Amino acid sequence: PDSPLARWTKSLHFLLGDQDGAHLFRTFLEREKCVDTLDFWFACNGFRQMDLNDTKTLRVAKAIFKRYIENNSIVAKQLKPATKTYIRDSIKKQQIDSAMFDQAQTEIQSTMEENAYQMFLTSDIYLEYV
């Protein structure tokens, strides 16, 4: 069977599913000043697991919106205007849904797969680790 390290090169999904892989990728993104994209990606996964009947869930949705989408952060810049509007409206109407960040997460993931992930696989951080 493939080692965890070999799987990192197969897909972003494998890399982020491995503790060491996610940690190393995070270090790389910190250096590239775009670690927010990864934190947002994990926040979307965490949000999807939350209980919609828990009052904390609305607060977390608001926190994600405020931290990553409302401002001019790197995440906000990579999202389509319609995606941001949809999330803004959902929060305004307090219509919280487990899938409300799915589209935004997909957009961020695609950008990561095309750019940061490819750069990571040729970075010195990765090569030194290997």
Partner 1 sequence: MDSEDDLLQKCITSAMPKQR
Residues that bind partner 1 in the complex, under the rule CB under 8 A: 4, 16-22, 39, 42-47, 49-50, 56, 59-60, 62-64, 66-67
Nearer to partner 1, 5 or 119 (CB): 5
Shortest distance in whole angstroms from residue 61 CB to partner 1: 10
Structure tokens at 77: 């810049």
Nearer to partner 1, 66 or 88 (CB): 66
Shortest distance in whole angstroms from residue 59 CB to partner 1: 6
Nearer to partner 1, 31 or 59 (CB): 59
Residue in the block written with tokens 């929060």: 91
Separation between Cα atoms, residue 16 and residue 24, nearest integer Å: 10
User: What amino acid is encoded at 39 in this protein?
Assistant: D
SS3 breakdown of the chain: % helix, strand, coil, rounded to 5? 75, 0, 25
